[in-house]
Amino acid sequence: MTKRFALGIFDDEDVLLHAVENVREAGVKIYEVFTPFPIHGMDDALGIERSRLPIAAFFFGLTGLSFALWMQIYMLGFDWPMIIGGKPHIALPSFIPVSFELTVLFCCHGMVITFYTISKLYPRWKTPVLDVRSTDDKFVVAIEVNENTDMTKLTQLLRDNGASEVNQKEMSKF
Amino acid sequence: MATLTHHESVTAEYLEVSPNARKKFIMIIVAGVVVLAVGLLLSALGIGAEHHEGAAAAHEATSHGAGPAAGHHGSPAWLKRLIVSLWHNNVFFTGVSAIGTVFMAIQYVAYAGWSVLIKRINEALSAWLIPGLILMIGIFAISLINHDIFHWTMPGIMDEGSENYDHIIAGKAGFLNLPFYLIRMVLFLGLWAFFTKRLRDLSLAEDLNGGTEYFHKSINVSALFLVIYAVSSPIAAWDWVMSVDTHWFSTMFGWYVFASWWVSGIAAVTLCTILLKQAGYLRWVKEGHLHDLGKFMFGFSIFWTYVWFSQFMLIWYANLPEESVYFNQRLGGFDGRYTWMFFGNLVINFVFPFLVLMTRDAKRQMIMLKIVSIAILIGHWSDFYLMLMPGTMKAENGFIIEIGTALIFLGAFLLLMTKRLSQASLVPVHHPFLDESVHHTT
């Protein structure tokens, strides 16, 4: 599906933040903002809802913890019981370091994999770049447009809010 | 982002301690005195002492070689309990008080901006250091009469041939002797109080004159203080807490005590911030600041647990008698009278803050932070109780006298802290990072 975008190019992140606020206040829906680095406060300015990744993280952690405890209790308690240091077979304090590490391991890997998947960053995925300069020193505000959009008005709005240029681009992979 | 919101000029804000509030603090002290009197009376009359026979037997079983003659010191139980609980509370409150300056110093050397608005609370928290030093000397002197707290102060314990002679303790004579001990006590608390005063003076001068000169000076003072504190706080922990169990030692102990003080100090700052905010002060303190304090409490509760467990697991695993006696006393020793506290300690100081403060929303709500910070303060007070009581009171510990003493300390602490808070603007108006703190978002 092909989509058309109006791209407002900005040179400064402070200007950009205000512009995003003002553009949204003017009733224009912003598709996405592309920046070379994360900008503090941008999520709020764009009105993006908080990620639910922490909930996933909690359950990944819980999975890791359960797996670690099951593994150690089963292996050392039932499958091949051994006496180590005169402790009982199932000696919980000695399981805690391993349980902690596996919790963290599952949590981290699960989170990275989940994040990449929902961000469509898995291998062989071609990431469409609207303006290559957004990977260098420019800040790009992308606004989806169609035939009915008043481009002069939109261009004026972006320019008034400090955009150094306003371009249009069609993208087929969105 | 500092420029996100439009400018609103930040003005000085003065706390007025209403006579009503002061009356409340005095009521806390009065309540403490009443509870203390009741506790002393009950203890002196021997009510609740029915455990003593069995408990004494348990003590024999777990006592670490000091022998019954040397293990029991002179004071009657009620007096001994009073002295020990005075020491316990003073160590706890003085340690928490020092955290105010430590926290502020760390913020200075880290060039942190967010915490500027709560800086005055940290300064006020450290108001207890000088009274703490005086009380500590006083209580230590009283404890010397019957050697109620520190077994190593017994006369002749380090002289070969004396009937009190203890070979292991004699080996520690180079460190645990009265002059050196007292020098350390005065030196450490004196240094902490000196740096607190220095940072406070710089901060007040900055309020008057402005400029960045005071800020840079404060950074130098803070850096020096942190180095001194890093060396002195573990030694203080050995002196004031660990030397109660004179035969026993743990290399984790300095960190363990520091972690306990530190997380309690942050909880105290958080609680104070919330109470002031709810009383209508600190109007520039927003959710973001509370969120950061919440993260600190959450993180350092885990840190405390980490240190606690590191100490526990090594001792549990190696199971050397001279080391595991410490946990033997707390886990099932003395007829198991400390066991519930041992596990309760982990629940209130780890499980509770960990689960409650896990989500972002919880860290941004005053009510959650309030509950958790109160729990942490009670929890770490109990943690110190658990460090000190089995070594001193053995099976004769109790709670009424201890809670009474704690209330007296709390009331006095609050009187002093609010007094210091009211002496300067709650907002350090000329701090160079003030603007950053006002616009802080997380």
Residue-wise pLDDT tens digits, B105-140:
999 999 999 999 999 999 999 999 999 999 999 999
How near does any CA of chain B get to the CA of A93, in Å? Answer: 7
> pLDDT tier at B5 (50, 70, 90 boundaries)?
very low
Average pLDDT of every residue of chain B: 90
Q: Are strands A165-171 and A32-34 parallel, antiparallel or unpaired?
A: unpaired
- Residues in chain A with CB shorter than 8 Å from the CB of B358 are 58
Least confident of B26-30, B40-44, B51-55, B235-239: B51-55
Q: Given a cut of 90, is residue B51 above it in pLDDT? A: no
Prediction pTM value: 0.88
Mutate to test the interface with A, among B1, B6, B317 (most CBs of A within 10 A): B1
Judged by CB atoms closer than 8 Å, whether chains meet at A14 and B358 is answered as: no
Mutate to test the interface with B, among A12, A14, A92 (most CBs of B within 10 A): A14
> pLDDT tier at A96 (50, 70, 90 boundaries)?
very high
* Domains of chain A with bracketed CATH: 3-50+129-171 (3.30.70.260), 53-118 (no CATH)
Taking CA–CA distances from A20, the nearest residue in chain B reads B4
CB-nearest partner of B317 from A44, A50, A85: A85
B135-173: pLDDT as tens digits: 999 999 999 998 889 989 988 888 888 888 999 999 999
Judged by CB atoms closer than 8 Å, whether chains meet at A14 and B1 is answered as: yes
- Residues in chain B with CB shorter than 8 Å from the CB of A17 are 1, 3-4
Q: Are B239 and B185 a contacting pair, CB within 8 Å? A: yes
pLDDT recorded at residue B53: 46
ipTM for the assembly: 0.79
How far apart (Å, rounded) are the C-alpha atoms in residues A30 and A19? 11
Taking CA–CA distances from B441, the nearest residue in chain A reads A41
DSSP state of B154: S
Token output for B216: 């840079």
pLDDT recorded at residue A173: 65
Q: Are strands A3-10 and A139-145 parallel, antiparallel or unpaired?
A: antiparallel
Q: Which residues pair with A3 in a beta bridge?
A: A171
Taking CA–CA distances from B361, the nearest residue in chain A reads A50
| Residue A174: closest CA among A32, A49, A51, A47 | A32
How near does any CA of chain A get to the CA of B1, in Å? Answer: 6
Helix B178-209, helix B129-146: angle, nearest 10: 170
SS3 B14: strand
Taking CA–CA distances from A58, the nearest residue in chain B reads B358
DSSP state of B442: -
How far apart (Å, rounded) are the C-alpha atoms in residues A12 and A32? 17
- Residues in chain B with CB shorter than 8 Å from the CB of A97 are 313
Q: Are B387 and B312 a contacting pair, CB within 8 Å? A: no
Judged by CB atoms closer than 8 Å, whether chains meet at A40 and B313 is answered as: no
Which amino acid is residue B15, in one-letter code?
A: L
Q: Are B441 and B30 a contacting pair, CB within 8 Å? A: no
SS (H, E, C) chain A: CCEEEEEEEECCHHHHHHHHHHHHHCCCCCCEEECCCCCCCHHHHHCCCCCCHHHHHHHHHHHHHHHHHHHHHHHHHHHCCCCCCCCCCCCHHHHHHHHHHHHHHHHHHHHHHHHHHHCCCCCCCCCCCCCHHHHCCCEEEEEEECCCCCHHHHHHHHHHCCCCEEEEEEECCC
How far apart (Å, rounded) are the C-alpha atoms in residues B117 and B131? 26
How far apart (Å, rounded) are the C-alpha atoms in residues B398 and B389? 9
Judged by CB atoms closer than 8 Å, whether chains meet at B317 and A93 is answered as: yes
- Residues in chain A with CB shorter than 8 Å from the CB of B313 are 93-94, 96-97
- Residues in chain A with CB shorter than 8 Å from the CB of B360 are 50, 54
How far apart (Å, rounded) are the C-alpha atoms in residues A48 and A60? 24
CB-nearest partner of A17 from B4, B313, B319: B4
Token output for B297: 């409490």
| Cα B414 → chain centroid | 15
**C-alpha distance across the termini of chain A, in Å:** 7
Q: Given a cut of 60, is residue B339 above it in pLDDT? A: yes
| Residues of chain A contacting B, Cβ within 8 Å | 14, 17, 39-41, 44-45, 50, 54, 58, 85-87, 93-94, 96-97
Judged by CB atoms closer than 8 Å, whether chains meet at A54 and B319 is answered as: no
**C-alpha distance across the termini of chain B, in Å:** 10
